[in-house]
Structure formats: structure tokens, C-alpha cells
Amino acid sequence: MLVAVPKEVYPGERRVALIPQTVSALIKAGLEVAIEAGAGESANYPDKDFEAQGARVELDRHSLLAQADIVLMVRGPGSYPDFPAADLDALKEGSTLISFTEPLAQPEIMRELAERKLTVFSMELMPRTTRAQSMDALSSMATIAGYKAVLAAADASPKLFPMFMTAAGTITPSRVFVLGAGVAGLQAIATARRLGAVVEAFDIRPAVKEEVESLGAKFVQLELESGEAQDSGGYAKAQSEDFYRRQQELMAERIKHSDVVITTAAVPGKKSPVLIPEEVVASMRPGSVIVDIAAEKGGNCAVTKPGEKIIHKGVIVIGPLNISAEVPVHASQMYAKNISTFLLHMVKEGKLELDLEDEITKGALVAHGGKLVHQAVVDALGK
């Protein structure tokens, strides 16, 4: 079976789905690997390194896609709604696509892929279980996003993060407030602490309190009555409008006195909840910084402009898009490990064998046999 890795077409995407070091394991499993010429260049993985590991380099993109039994990508259709129609037309019936696809946000596109008789696996739907931990690409990318967000904040802030005791006096440490203590939030906490900031964090899931405190941050507890805080996959669940309004009110004082706020709150398949209204931004001290990791889904801050860095009434608001692609070497390394481990989980003697009773295979499978097979995607299509 031929595994094809085309060059990413999403504007500014610098990651690649496989790196040379992951190719040999696929070949050892009986698969053939072909890379589109230049696919890894933006991540500093030249064609010759892929060839040295046994991969074939293909110059013609559509010829590569037409030959492929399995296509590995970072941003597939759905995660990139303007995915080229010519690429989809080139894929042969019955081939398998594994990538990020935003299936809950783009169920219509998933239905189109199913109608094309493609087998589609979404890396977003990987179960958050111990068995699937090495395949959890969302967590890998969130780790990078949390780290990079703090560096962006430190670079933009007019203040130093750590405490300095100098002959010119003592510099007090910056105060950082992290909203959302998932993987990205925890990495943001750890990075801000390493830089010497005083860190507080809030999450609607009380279960993360111990993790927050283990990183040296203070867990902020608000008197809020929430519904079920997380789903069976460990992701935060959407709450009521009244809940978010009350949350905004209780957090306003802490945000007002913070030098940096990092927001990470996201709900799969939905617009990001607004946690920081415009009037709270206006109450912050001039020079304060907000880095809104959730900008790609609309943002947690009311004034965020996705993809831009703005100054709103003296407050610096950064809305990064595709933040993981800014660290393409290690982002590609982590993603390649996730996706190749997942693929090898399903390969037996050089063939792709789908065990639809297996929780990992079933959990990530969106389309197969000409129809949508993931119930959450089917439900999203009906809404």
C-alpha cells in the first residue's frame, strides 16, 4: 500500500505530516512511502532526508494523490474549507485520508468525503485514553500553543516576567492569569512559571486544581454552578449563557489586575465562549497583554481580531492563528509520531485492516463505506 504525504496547501502552514525519522517504521511494516517534492522544506526536512530513509519523492502532486492508498496530511478538507477541489478529485475511490478535518464544525464537508467513498479518520476525534495517548495530536499541538503563547506575551509586554533584585531596586514579577487549564493552559502555566511570573489559573473543571497547583500556580475558585464540566473524552463542555455571564463578572477583578492574560478555552465543534467582554479589557492597565489562543474559533476575548495584534484602549490583544505552525520542526516531529503510530495501529502485514470494535479506530473514524459513521458528526449534520 502506498502512503502519500502531499505538501500542505493551507496558507502559512509550515508543518508536514511525516518526518524522515518516521518513514522507516512505515516501510518496515510493509508500506511504501512517497512524499511530494518540497513537502518538508518549511519544517527544515529536505527531500534528500526522506529519500535516505527509503521514501520516494514525487514531483507531480495529483499523480501522487491518484496513486495513494493512504494520504497523511496536517490540514485536510474541513480544517481547510477552501481545500482544492482538484486534490479531492485526484483521490481514488476507497482510499484513506488521515488528518485534522474539523468534523464537528464542518459536517457537510465530511458528508461530501463520505459520498466520494473515502475512508476518513480525524485526528481531532482521537480518544483521550491511555492507549491512545501516543496518537493524541490535539494534545501535542496544544502543548506547543501554550508554550508559544507565553513567549508571545513576554515579547509584547512592556514588563519583565521574573522578579529582579538589582542596585536600581527590586523589579516585581509580572502577574499572569491563564483561563483554561487543559493541555495548552497547563503548558502556558509551566512556561510562565519558568520565566518567573506569578501565575493564577481558572478552569470550569475542578479536577484540574491539583495539576495547576503542582506547576506552582494558584487555582482560582469561583462560586459557579456549572453543568457537567467535561465530556467523556476529557474536553470542556459548553455551558449556558447565564453561566458565562456570571463567570465574566467573577473574573473581571482578577483580569483587571493581571499584567498578562492567556485564554485557551475551546469547545470542540463550537465557537469559542467569550470570557473577556470589551468593558473588562478597557478596565485593564495600559500595557497589559491578552494572548487569545482560541482566536481561530472566534476568540475568548470580545475584541480579539483573529490573526492580528491590536491595541485596544492601551491593552495589547494578540489573536494568533495556527500557532503550532510557528514551531514547525518540533510540531512536525510530534504530529508525525502521533499520525504514524495511529496508522501502524491499523496496519497488519502491509495492509490496512480496520477493527471497527477497537475504541481507537472506531473513535477517530468519520466516514467509511460511503457513509458517515461517527455519531457525533451525524448529529452535528442534523443541527
Task: Name the residues annotated as catalytic.
Answer: 128, 133, 136, 139, 235
Other CB atoms closer than 10 Å to residue 344's CB: what's the count? 16
Query: What is the sign, positive or negative, of the torsion defined by CA atoms of 274, 275, 276, 280?
Result: positive
Cell of 51: 529519500
CA dist., res. 203 & res. 262, Å (int): 12
3-state DSSP assignment of residue 138: helix
Compute CA 65 distance to the chain's CA centroid, rounded to the nearest angstrom.
25
Q: How far is CA 33 from CA 5, 24, 89, 316, in A?
A: 8, 9, 21, 45
Complete edge-to-edge strand list for the sheet that includes strand 2-5: 56-58, 32-36, 2-5, 70-75, 96-100, 119-122, 365-368, 371-372
CB 161 within 8 A of CB 174: yes
Q: What Cα–Cα distance (Å) separates residue 232 from each residue in 228, 251, 264, 363?
A: 10, 27, 20, 12
Neighbours of 103 (CB within 10 A): 28
| Residue 296: count of CB within 10 angstroms of its CB | 18
Q: Provide the residue type at 7 as one letter.
A: K
In the 8-state DSSP scheme, what is residue 221? Answer: -
Residue with cell 514551531: 327
Are 181 and 202 contacting, i.e. CB atoms less than 8 angstroms apart?
yes
Q: Spell out the SS3 assignment of 216-230.
A: CCEECCCCCCCCCCE
**Secondary structure element (H or E) that encloses residue 58, with its range:** strand 56-58
Please give the grid coordinates belonging to residue 284.
485593564
DSSP single-letter state for residue 199: E
